[in-house]
Each structure stands twice: as structure tokens, then as C-alpha cells.
Amino acid sequence: MAASDLSDRLQSERSQLDYFVQNMAPTALVVPTMIAGVAAVLSFWGGILPAIVWAVVVIGTYVAFYTVTKRGRAHDMTDEAFQRWRKRVVIGNLLGEITWVSATFIFWQTGDVLNNAFLLCILAAHLAMAIGHSSIYLPLMYGSILVPAFGLVLMPISTGDPLFMAIGGVAGVYVYFLVVIGKGINRTSTAMLALRDEKDALIQRLKTEKRVAEHERSRAEEANQTKSTFLASISHELRTPLNAIIGFSDVMRAETFGPVGHDNYRQYVDDIHGSGQHLLSLINDVLDLARIEAGRLELNEEPVDLGGIAEDCKRMIGLQASERNVTIELDMPAQPPRILADVRAMRQLWLNLVSNAFKFTGNGGRVTLFAGTTADGSIRFGVEDTGCGMDEDELARVMNAFTQGNAQSHTGERGTGLGLAIVTGLVDAHGGTFGLESTPGVGTRATVTLPRARLIHAELSPARVRA
């Protein structure tokens, strides 16, 4: 037999015997009580002393068998220990059956029909119970059948009485029927135990995978926290020299202390100033994102007028919009919603969305800042443009940090790829949701939705202001 087949067989036998041991507990008191009752009846034919001796021997054999059986736990043993224990269980069961059946030979009264009928009925009942209990494991079942069947079938036949011989024949059919039933129970229980073992193994694997996943998640969170802390720290360190570079280059551009000299120097100063501004913008974005990811973003909540912030954003981008003939519109109620939020976060959030929309909207296009409430009282605001738009792949990609779409900026500005990631973080911090809808060649609509609990002024006029 192959090693794998032997291992599978032993695993199956372990499950069967464990199940058999578990089912012994409910009968621990029933069997001795039943033995005592049978002995009490047998005392009428064989006398009190033989009945007591028989009962003591049978109960003693059962207690020994029960002790040996309960002392072992199949799944905790080595293969060698299990095989030794299994043999003791089978032998103990066989000895118990022999002591039971000995009553037939000790107390049988030839010619006493009542005595004979009682003993045969006891054997038949015992055989049925033994089959039901031991059919989980075939060696136990065969031991439980062989000895009782010997007494149940051969004892009546040995009398030579035609009636009892007929009873012995019927008993033989009865034994065969019990064997068939026992094998069927064994097949069903074996399949059930195999499924149970597979389920337990699957649960154990899932628990193990869960522990591994939780450990890996913890490590990833620690790594992410370390990364965010590092970015926040290094960004602070870089901002100071960058501010000096930008400030000094601005002084040189303005020629505050006298002419720079060569025209190439002026061009270099402009490049230094522009590069410094871009790098500072990138560092500021990284710092904001790191603070959000590290959970160090503290909201200073106060009443915020979304209409006022929209006006500020329109004014900040108005000059550039005029130069490119891009229309900036406001689409909101006559009395815009006022919310409880962090005003700096709301300003940064909306300015990021407006800058993105303006950057990818061609000359003669339109950028609309909108705000209002929904039917359930939620606050909804954002920016809509008539720019180049994005397909589904770009929409999924631009929501990630340091990622940009494929479209070319109409302003020539170099993006950091952090704007929408910062917007998402700020919106999450306020308990809201952020979504993008876009159609290539038509435009993009960026929408922020905040919960109703943040709404301060709920009475909105149906009239809307477009400016």
C-alpha cells in the first residue's frame, strides 16, 4: 500500500474512532443499568449469586473498555500509538461482547420457552444496539456482530427443536439484515466525517490565512505610516531652502539692487524662480497628502459659505481665464448652502478641482462651479468643464497619487498628480464621497457629496444664480 493511501486510511480511521468515543459518553450509565436489570431477571432462573457474578464481570469488562477507549484521542496520537490503541479498542469490544453472550450459555434452560425467548430477545436487542453504535468503524461492527450472532443463531439450532431451529434461521436473516444496515450506516458516516474533516481543514486554513493577512496588513500600515511620516518630515526640511531660493530669485528678477547684466542671466533667474515655484507646489502637495495618510489632518470646523469660496476661486483664476477666453461660471442657489467644515480644507479642495478643470479646458471653453442640496438634504458641490474629458481607464488611474491622465494640459503647467488624491483625502476626512464623471471630447464633472449633518442652512431658494 502506498504511503499516501496508508496515511489517508489512518486519517479516516482516526476520525471514525474519535466519533465512536464521542458517542460513548451518553451511554456510560445506561449500559451498566441495563446489565443490572438483565441480571435481576436472570436471577429467577440461575440464582442470585450467578446473576451477580455475571453482572459484575460484564460491567467490569465494559468499564475497562470504556476507560481504555476514553483515555485516547485519535487525532493527537502518533501513527504507532494510534495503531496500538486501536487494537486495544477492538479487543476490548470483542471481550465485552463475549461476556454479554455468555449469559445465553450460563442461564439457558432447555425446555423453558419463557427463559429461551427472554435470552434470545436480549441478544437480538443487544445486537441491534451494538450495530447502531459500532457501525461507524467496521472492525468494531464485525466484532459486535460475530459473537452475539453466534449465540442468537447457533443456540436455537443446537436444541434440535424444529421451532427453535426455525427461529435460528430467522435470526440468521436478521443478522444479515443488520450487517447490510450497518455497512450502509458506515458508508454514510464515513462520507460525513470526511466532509467534516475537509471543513475543519478549510476553516483552519482560512484562520491561518487570516492571521497572515492581518500580519501583512499591519506591516503594510506600519510601512505606509513610516513613509507618510518621512514625507512630512523631509517636506518641512525642503520648504525652508526652497522659500529662500524663490525669494532671492524674485529679488534678482525685479533687479532690486541693480541690473543683473547679461540677458541669459535674466532667463536663468526666471527658470530658477519657475522651477522653485513648481517644486514648492509639489512639496506642499506631498506634505498635505502625507498629513492626510498619516491621520494627522486636524479639522478646524466652523460655518463655511460655499458661495463665498466659489467666488474666491473664480476671482483667483479669472485673469488667466480671460487670457485664454475661458468662461468661469457659478451655478448655485441665490442663497448658497452653508456647511460645518474646515474652511481651509474646503478652499483647497475646490481650488484643486477648479485648477484641474481649467488646466484641461481649451480656449473658448467653460468651467462651472456648482453647489446645492439633494432631496435627502445632502450637500453636493463641485466643478464641471467642457474640456478634453477622459475615458474609463483614465478615470480609474487619475484617482491614484502621482498619476496623471493622458491629456495634454492647455496651460502648459506641469502637474504633480496629487490634486485629486488630496481632494479624496479631504472629502473622506469630512465623511463625504468624491466622484468623477467624464466623456472624452465632452468634458468632466467632479462632484463632492457631504452628509446632511453638515448642512447649516437648509432653506434654499429655487432661483439660481449664474454669473
Q: What is the pLDDT of residues 322-360, one digit of tens each?
A: 888 888 888 888 888 888 888 888 888 888 888 888 888
DSSP state of 366: E
Under a CB-based contact definition with an 8 Å cutoff, are residues 145 and 127 in contact? yes
Choose the weakest-confidence range: 229-243, 366-380, 384-398, 438-452. 229-243
42: CB partners within 8 A, 6+ apart: 50, 51, 54, 103, 107
Q: Rounded to an integer, what distance in angstroms lies between the CA atom of residue 222 and that of residue 136?
A: 52
In tens, the pLDDT along 399-437 reads 765 566 555 554 445 555 677 888 888 888 888 999 888
In tens, the pLDDT along 59-72 reads 888 888 888 887 76
Degrees to nearest 5, angle at CA 123 with 99 and 169: 125
pLDDT at 53: 92
What value does the mean pLDDT take over residues 148-155? 83
Under a CB-based contact definition with an 8 Å cutoff, are residues 399 and 393 in contact? no
Degrees to nearest 5, angle at CA 362 with 361 and 365: 75
pLDDT at residue 466 greater than cutoff 60 = no
Which amino acid is present at 291?
R
Nearest to 186 by CA among 4, 15, 8, 10: 15
In tens, the pLDDT along 381-390 reads 999 998 888 8
123: CB partners within 8 A, 6+ apart: 101, 104, 148, 151, 152
Under a CB-based contact definition with an 8 Å cutoff, are residues 425 and 400 in contact? no
pLDDT at residue 55 greater than cutoff 70 = yes
What value does the mean pLDDT take over residues 83-98? 85
Q: Report domain extents, the chain.
A: 3-209, 228-293, 301-466
Q: Give the burial string for 375-400 (b: 16+ CB within 10 Å, else e).
A: eeebbbbbbbbbbbbbeeebbeebee
Under a CB-based contact definition with an 8 Å cutoff, are residues 394 and 384 in contact? no
What value does the mean pLDDT take over residues 261-266? 75
Q: For residue 160, how many other CB atoms are within 10 A of its CB?
A: 9
pLDDT at residue 81 greater than cutoff 70 = yes
pLDDT at 293: 65
Mean pLDDT score of the chain: 80
Residue keyed to cell 486636524? 298
Please tell me the number of Cα atoms within 13 Å of 177 on its side-chain side: 9
CA atoms 159, 161, 163, 168: torsion sign: positive
Confidence of residue 201 (pLDDT cuts 50, 70, 90): confident
Choose the weakest-confidence range: 100-104, 263-267, 338-342. 263-267
Which amino acid is present at 63?
V
CATH class as words, domain 301-466: alpha beta
What value does the mean pLDDT take over residues 367-389? 89
Q: For residue 168, how many other CB atoms are within 10 A of its CB?
A: 19
pLDDT at 370: 92
Q: Which residue has the higher pLDDT, 367 or 397?
A: 367
Choose the weakest-confidence range: 36-40, 51-55, 161-165, 235-239. 235-239
pLDDT at residue 294 greater than cutoff 80 = no
